[in-house]
Structure 1
Amino acid sequence: MDPSLYYNPASQLVPVRTPLRTLTPGTVIELHGRIHNTKRFAINLETKDGDIALHINPRFDCNHVVLNSFRGGKWEMEEHAPLTIAQGQDFSCMILVEKMEYKMAFNGQHLTSFKHRILFSLVDVLTAKSGITIQKVEQKPPVDVTPSMQIARSMRPRVAPAMPIGGGMPPQPTMPVRPSSAQEPSFNPPTPFCCQLAQGCYPGLLIYISGRPYAEPDRFNVDLTCGPHAVPGSPVAFHWNPRFHEKSVVRNSFLDEGWGVEEREGRGFPYEAGVHFDMIIQVLHDRINVAVNGQHYAEFRHRLQPISQITHLRIEGDVAIASVRFQ
């Protein structure tokens, strides 16, 4: 017998109130529906006392998603995430319960995380309100963590080794490499992370990285490398190194067993401790462009040619990775 708790409201207009089994780490709640021409809607995980442990509130009039909790008759501090869904379209929402936080995804794409403020074991009902039609609600137990979202309970961020203060991050000992012939996206992989570029490096390649620096970060780095660093001295064609204490993003390359000249120009410092970010790496014929949170930040002229020598993406340091996608 399928242990999932399945609820099909026959395309019921909200409000919807669906009872839930006791939540435990690894539980997944999946909701499918359609968004109407509404300014806002809400999906809540509530307790029998009327508190809201998790409030997911997409706001099309503000172009972001508000996350919050409601306790003792009062709303608590809001958190914001990017809006990735649209009015007039079908959507899916997945909520993964973890020991310290919820993880959420819309349409199979990681949205954000929300640390527990109210014990998840007290949650007994899911509600949905305002401007959507609900087609299905399903609660899956920990034995069936959804593969479509590619979130595993074992894929929690790990503290990476500290980075040296020198010109950059020298090659480190090897780590497990995640080859992918179809370049599948990776959701919530552990840090450090290393991924082979399935189609190689070429002009037009786009790499989308979402994540969150640790609460007290020193630095992290995103590298395009010639190999997975299994051999000391492996070239790093592009080194992106946000340094929080310096409030600077250092760009560099590691070629011929030495670091090159650092580049630091940029408008402000685009990262905040503990705050979600989205960045895009665009590979062109002569350079790499990088945007953070929708704003162009820097370009880096290729120092290694041909760029087809670049084979891997590597991320390490004081950052929790939410997703890595390729286009």
Structure 2
Amino acid sequence: MAVSQQQLFCNPKIPFTGSLLGGLQEGKSIVVLGRILPKAGRFHVNLQCGSHSNADVALHFNPRYDGVATVVLNTFQNCSWNSEERKSDSFLLHDQPFILQILVTKETYKISVNGKHFMDYIHRIPFTKVDTITVDQMVELDFIAYQNPVVVPYKAVINGGLQPGKDIVIYGLPNLDSKMVVFNLRHRYGIALHHKSLFEENVVVRNTFENGTWGAEEKCGAVPFKKDQLFQVTISCNKEQFTVFVNGQQAHTYKHRFTKLEDIDVFEFYGDIQLFFVKT
């Protein structure tokens, strides 16, 4: 299933305030990708009922580093803070990228960090009143997305097909027991690019499927992914080839065998992985 009704804030500046279109809805998630600054004392992510300075805050997510790393969670209502909930086993480390995911359920916010469940926070204010997200203090952000959860296997339509200059961006995390990570760029007649990373063999296979037949494989060693570590994949298309970048480093190139780029209109991703965000 593809992500629908996706809202994206790219490289937002801190302090950040953004409206959540349609307000919070059950079953949707907020995904925050960023990096904690090296000397950060704390930062926070708030889900608010409005953007004014005294707005009620349904969820205050506040990692602190002045002593033992602790995350403080709370609700601000009627101009006063409620009782805090604290958890000291924070996965959020200085000068490291992180993905914070907040899934809205009927009873709670289900909070995960870097693909691992962190805690549930029971609603103290109805989530239907929340329409704003704010982020402030010692953090820098790559993006904030408000979306339906991304499920694996993943398939999405590439509107208008591929063309030179088009990039596809994926954020995810291979499971500890992951055996492979696979993505395909498809057209109605076959697969223009099949890219398969096999962990046990430590090999990456690229190929094209056309007229019911696989072509000659291109193989190389050194899988560019690490188990249980966040990755960013960018698939860049130009006139001659696809270039695959992993975590900002060029991993592979693949010369076009199928050259009608505009006919490549489906992107697939599957394997033993968690996906957090895909931009096609």
Q: TM-score band (shorter)?
A: 0.5 to 0.7
Q: Which amino acid aligns with 1:301?
A: K
Q: Which amino acid aligns with 2:197?
A: P
TM-superposition CA deviations, 1:42-89 (whole Å, max 9, x none): 2469xxxxxxxx76479xxxxxxxx9769xx995474555379xxxxx
Query: Structure 2 vs 1, CA of residues 238 and 272 (structure 1 numbering), >3 Å: closer, same or farther?
Result: same
How far the C-alpha of 1:306 sits from its partner, in A, is 2.1
What letter matches 2:111 in structure 1? Y
Residues 285 and 273 of structure 1: CA distance in aligned 2, closer, same or farther (over 3 Å): same
Other-structure match for 1:281: 235
146, 149, 155: which is aligned to 1:150?
Answer: 146
- The verdict on how the C-alpha distance between 1:199 and 1:296 changes in structure 2, with shifts beyond 3 A counting, is same
One of 206, 215, 229 as aligned partner of 1:251: 206
SS of the equivalent of 1:120 reads strand
TM-score under structure 2 length normalisation: 0.59
Aligned position for 2:276: 322
Contact between 2:70 and 2:87, CA under 8 Å: does it hold in 1? no
What's the CA shift for 1:265? 2.4
* Residue of structure 2 equivalent to 1:197: 158
Unaligned runs of 5+ in 2: 1-25, 46-60, 73-85, 134-143
Tell me which protein shows more strand as a share of its residues: 2
SS of equivalent residue, structure 1 residue 308: helix
In the alignment, which residue of structure 2 is the partner of 1:40?
40
Instruction: Give the fraction of aligned pairs with identical amino acids, expressed as a percent.
Output: 22
Number of paired residues?
A: 208
Q: Which secondary structure does the structure 2 equivalent of 1:313 belong to?
A: strand
Tell me, which stretches of 5 or more residues in structure 1 are unaligned? Answer: 1-24, 32-36, 46-53, 59-66, 85-92, 105-111, 125-138, 156-188, 228-233
Contact 1:68–1:78 at 8 Å: present in 2 too?
A: no
Q: Which has the higher contact order (CA 8 A, sep 6+)?
A: 2
Cα distance change of structure 1 residues 68 and 294 upon mapping to structure 2, 3 Å threshold: farther
1:297 and 2:251 correspond:
yes
Determine helix, strand or coil for the equivalent of 1:265. strand
Q: CA RMSD in A?
A: 4.3
Contact 2:241 2:256 in 1 (8 A): yes
Q: So what's the TM-score if we normalise by structure 1? A: 0.51
Q: Deviations over 1:254-282 (max 9, x none)?
A: 1121111221225x322122221101000
Cα distance change of structure 1 residues 191 and 146 upon mapping to structure 2, 3 Å threshold: farther
Indicate which of 250, 264, 276 corresponds to 1:310. Answer: 264
User: Residues 235-257 of structure 1: CA distance to partner in whole angstroms, max 9, x if unpaired?
Assistant: 10001111111122211111121
Matched, 1:82 2:97: yes
Letter in 1 for 2:170: I
